[in-house]
A and B are shown apart, each in its own frame.
Chain A
Amino acid sequence: MWIYEKKLEYPVRVDSCNPTLASLIIEQFGGADGELSAGIRYLTQRWTMPTNEAKGILTDIGTEELAHWEMIGTLVYKLTKNAPVDKIKDTPFAASYANHGKSPFPHNAAGVPWTATFINSKDDPVADIHEDMAAEQKARATYEHLINLSDDPGVNDTLRFLREREVVHYQRFGETLRIVEEYKDSKKYY
């Protein structure tokens, strides 16, 4: 099971009111390579992992991704909470506002809603961990694009933290891949 801890993984600061930036950052809330995809992907793949190391890493990285999802929602919330409607009207955030008001909603920056087709689980640890390593690199690249697009120092501080986490996750998945491959080889006899 999971227990909610009433704290963020990292103190999310926002220095501006910027609905446009919120509408870009929503990519990591409900986009293909976003935090929701990452969390649900890893937590779904756990059942068919062959080693305790792999079960552990998918559980714990999957859980951390949900904490990142909460941080992204907080960025979006803080970037829009003080915006009057006439400061939203002519921004890309208006499209999301029409349906969801100021509630962060899991769709990507272009408005495409989150779907389980963004992820997979193959009952094949080597295929799954390769997908996970690619996912971490794609998330890192997305964070770099978002950092290029943002000029809010508080937001950039959080985006840089999240980018760094993708690098660490990629590293841990690489070690996990080696562990499950060694396990597979040890089981092979002809």
Chain B
Amino acid sequence: MDYNQVKLLQEIMEVGFALIETNLYLDTHPTDERALMLHNTHSRKYNDLYNRYSSKYGPLTYTGMSRCPWEYIQGPWPWEIEYEKCHWD
């Protein structure tokens, strides 16, 4: 997996993680408007990155579109990737 692909995938993972956090928080604070705004901002960013990645490298889930052959099964799979060092905080 080349550098640009890992980098874009890790950006998706990073924003995806922010969404996991806002999701759990909103489950127990469903009327917190600031948290909702934060969630919606990340949601928009996530969808943009997700679409950019899929159109370049193929779908990350089976519901996505693919060129031929079926790009979803192309390696490396998530446990095989050599990730770049990252500092999320």
A12–B86 Cα distance when bound, in Å, is 10
Per-residue interface assignment for chain B, residues 60 to 80, with 1 indicating a CB less than 8 Å from any chain A CB and 0 otherwise: 111100000000100001110
A residues contacting the other copy or chain, number (CB 8 A):
29
- Residue of B17, B25, B78, B84 touching A6 (CB-CB under 8 A): B78
B56 CB to nearest chain A CB (Å): 14
Chain B 11-24 interface 0/1 with A at a Cβ cutoff of 8 Å (1 = within): 01100110011011
- A7-B16, A74-B78 known; A60 vs B27 contact (CB < 8 Å): yes
List chain B residues, Cβ under 8 A from A176. 27-28
Please, what's the 1-or-0 string for A1-34, where 1 marks a CB less than 8 Å from any CB in chain B? 0011111111111000000000000000000000
Report the bound CA distance from A60 to B19 in whole Å.
11
Residue of B nearest to A13 (CB): B83
Q: A9-B20, A13-B85, A168-B21 are in contact. Are A4 and B79 (CB under 8 A)?
A: no
Could you list 28 A-B pairs, sorted by A, with CB under 8 Å? A3-B63, A5-B16, A5-B60, A6-B78, A7-B9, A7-B12, A7-B13, A7-B16, A7-B60, A7-B78, A8-B13, A8-B78, A8-B79, A9-B16, A11-B10, A11-B13, A11-B86, A12-B79, A12-B83, A53-B28, A57-B24, A60-B27, A64-B24, A70-B78, A168-B21, A172-B25, A172-B28, A176-B28
Which residues from chain A sit less than 8 Å from chain B, CB to CB?
A: 3-13, 52-53, 56-57, 60-61, 64, 70, 73-74, 77-78, 168-169, 172, 175-176, 179
